[in-house]
Amino acid sequence: DTGVSQDPRHKITKRGQNVTFRCDPISEHNRLYWYRQTLGQGPEFLTYFQNEAQLEKSRLLSDRFSAERPKGSFSTLEIQRTEQGDSAMYLCASSPPYSNQPQHFGDGTRLSIL
């Protein structure tokens, strides 16, 4: 169990640029989640994958955000035309293929928009 890894750990970019983050879940976990977290708040759900299928997406999620999990293993989250309000910690989590299981988180990618 090598844990969930996320890359990069930090990303600084100018407003209007596109950014892409990567998440490698725990290998036996078929469920993968993306969250956004701002200072002093809990994680906010963005989207969920079961294997390669994106089964749920937050209604709050702008169409500038897109996520993929092409082979049911690693996942990418892309933000197009970044805005100041996108500055946050982006967290990825994975869990086993059973109901009501705890989620295992990576240490996130901190995005700063200049």
Name the residues that contact other proteins, by CB under 8 A.
Answer: 4, 31, 33, 40-45, 48, 50, 55-56, 91, 93, 99-100, 102-108, 110
d(CA 113, CA 111) in angstroms, rounded, equals 7
CB-nearer residue toward other proteins: 84 or 100: 100
In the complex, minimum distance from the CB of residue 78 to other proteins, in angstroms, rounded to a whole number? 20
d(CA 21, CA 26) in angstroms, rounded, equals 17
DSSP 8-state assignment for residue 102:
P
CB-nearer residue toward other proteins: 4 or 79: 4
C-alpha distances in Å from residue 67, one per residue of 5, 40, 54, 77: 16, 25, 8, 4
In the complex, minimum distance from the CB of residue 70 to other proteins, in angstroms, rounded to a whole number? 20
